[in-house]
A and B are shown apart, each in its own frame.
Chain A
Amino acid sequence: MTAVEAAPNAGARGITVEHLSKTFGSLAVLDDVSLQVRRGEFVSILGPSGCGKSTLFSLLTGVHDPDSGRCFIDGEPLAPSRRPFAWMPQRDALLPWRTVSGNVALGAEVAQGMRRRHARAATAHLLQDFGISEFADSLPHEISGGMRQRVALARTIAQNRNIALLDEPFGALDALTRTDLQLWLESMWRTERWSVLLITHDVREAVLLSDRIYVLSDRPARVVGEFSVDLPRPRTIDLLAAPKVAALEVELLHALGGTRSD
């Protein structure tokens, strides 16, 4: 639980982000952000609302181009034709004409080149796991925001990629469902060993899931702290009662609070 000195390394496996900066017009959003996710590591980005977290993902995925800085996946620079990760955007980006099961299957259909029917069969268990099988044949506009978010997460998992970029995947869920799905994700991650980069502004979520946590400042976002979480896995909710969890949460809150300019 110490602040680690980061030395990003373009040759490393996993995700490497080096000195990324971005402005929209006159609005500086990212200021020299560097971070790294090693192969098989679960890393969270914690930052205040509106600081530029989603913008970081938009640079990785190619929605926008960075002003300066570079990104590497497994040591190779990102290119438009090479974005080998499963991305869950904050706004779910579900296809409105596809049913819930069709949207989830899309992940397997495109990322794994399955035929539609095969993809549906292969992803049926995800609907079960996410508690959305009841709505398998509903269209996205017919289900609640929390349901949509689960569909989007299931679609991301269905891609079965080694690297996942998750942008506040649990933001619209009630506390109980959220904890359930967080633990589900953690156990899934333990068996599959993806590299995960998760955006959140929920301190507890970051602690519960991550190996390491980057704290970003208010806009323009800079990395103001890096924390490792040495809690045993599998993670359980009982762990949240541990004193060192409380201590880490306080530390994180201080790091977040220290970013206020007042």
Chain B
Amino acid sequence: MNSAADPEGRRTAPAQPWSRFFLPVIAVLAFLLLWECYARLVNPGPTVLPPLSQVVAAGWGDRINLASSLWPTVVEVGVGFAVSVTLAFLLSLVIQLIPSVRRAVLPLLIGSQTVPLVVLAPLFVVWFGFGLLPKVLLIALVTFFPIVVALLDGYASADRESVTVLQTMGANRWQEYRLLRLPGALPALFTGIRISITYAVVAAVFAEYAGAERGLGVYLQGASKSFRTDLVLAGVLVSAVITVVLFVVVTAVERACLPWHAGVKAVTP
């Protein structure tokens, strides 16, 4: 790091392991501890709020079922998210290169976000059945919008002078996009992905709830119907862990793909 000599740079540059790692872990542990203590001291009953230890034990005991329910959900999230990112990217590309499309499509896009999932999920089952397709569509619908918006914002945030430098070089619209706007929008894209990936698991569970043969949603539904609150909470814990894992993976990919961005951030706080 050349910036290490610069005291300004050094102050902001280090990725401090203490705050980056231990703080969130401590916060999570504190929350879990609170849960355990509350459930044991107040004792609201096993169908209302069983203690954490009981939930973990129940989940572990049912781990075969839980794992086999988890897998379809993970597949749905993976496929749905891939579809979502691809579509979002293509749409943002068209909007960026053909400005009149922006005006035409944006109201539709925003409108798509106001449809309540509770209504849509069962409808998707009616339209597309119990297979993978309705889940993928629902996940895409939920996660698509933040990604498109992030990309469009990223394109628009390109440095004015850099744009002009390219234009005086004779760059056409496509070159301007490929050489400047797209790479400049990647940090924003990753921000959009990080936001929307936290919705992806929820959307998948929701879609499964509305109608599926297997999956975490089905598992939760079953546990809930038989008043096994411990298993419901175990399922919820698992989906939370999955979401956190996805979030961390995205962040790691971002670091690996955009070394320049971490560097720029470190130098200019």
Residues 59-114 of A contacting B (Cβ, < 8 Å): 61-63, 80, 83-87, 89, 91, 93, 95-97, 106-107, 109-111
A167 vs B161: C-alpha distance in the bound complex, in angstroms?
13
1/0 per residue, CB under 8 A from B, across A133-167: the answer is 00000111111100000000000000100000000
Binding site for A on B (CB under 8 A): 1-3, 159-162, 164-171, 175, 179-180, 183-184, 186, 258-261, 263-264, 266-268
Chain B residues with CB under 8 Å of A138's CB are: 2
Could you tell me the dominant secondary structure of chain B's interface residues?
A: helix
With A95-B180, A139-B263 as given contacts, are A83 and B162 in contact (CB-CB < 8 Å)?
no
Nearest CB on A from B119, distance (A): 43
A96–B165 touching, CB < 8 Å: no
With A61-B164, A63-B164, A91-B161 as given contacts, are A110 and B183 in contact (CB-CB < 8 Å)?
no
B161–A63 touching, CB < 8 Å: yes
Given contacts A96-B260, A96-B263, A109-B179, 14 further A-B contacts (CB under 8 A): A61-B164, A62-B167, A62-B168, A80-B167, A87-B165, A97-B186, A110-B175, A111-B170, A139-B259, A139-B263, A140-B260, A141-B3, A141-B263, A143-B2
Nearest CB on A from B169, distance (A): 4
B170–A89 touching, CB < 8 Å: no
A82 vs B209: C-alpha distance in the bound complex, in angstroms?
59
Interface size class of A (residues with CB under 8 A): 20 to 34
A95–B179 touching, CB < 8 Å: yes
A83–B168 touching, CB < 8 Å: yes
> A107 is contacted by which of B2, B169, B175 (Cβ under 8 Å)?
B169
Nearest CB on B from A102, distance (A): 10
With A110-B169, A110-B175, A111-B169 as given contacts, are A139 and B164 in contact (CB-CB < 8 Å)?
no
What 5 A-B pairs have minimum CB-CB distances, sorted nearest first? Answer: A110-B169, A111-B169, A97-B260, A93-B161, A83-B168
Chain B residues with CB under 8 Å of A109's CB are: 179
A51 vs B268: C-alpha distance in the bound complex, in angstroms?
28
A221 vs B162: C-alpha distance in the bound complex, in angstroms?
25
A83 vs B169: C-alpha distance in the bound complex, in angstroms?
8
Chain A residues with CB under 8 Å of B260's CB are: 96-97, 139-141
Q: List 10 A-B contacts (CB under 8 A).
A: A63-B161, A83-B167, A85-B168, A86-B168, A96-B263, A111-B170, A139-B260, A141-B263, A141-B266, A142-B1
Nearest CB on A from B167, distance (A): 7
Chain A residues with CB under 8 Å of B184's CB are: 97
Chain A residues with CB under 8 Å of B159's CB are: 93
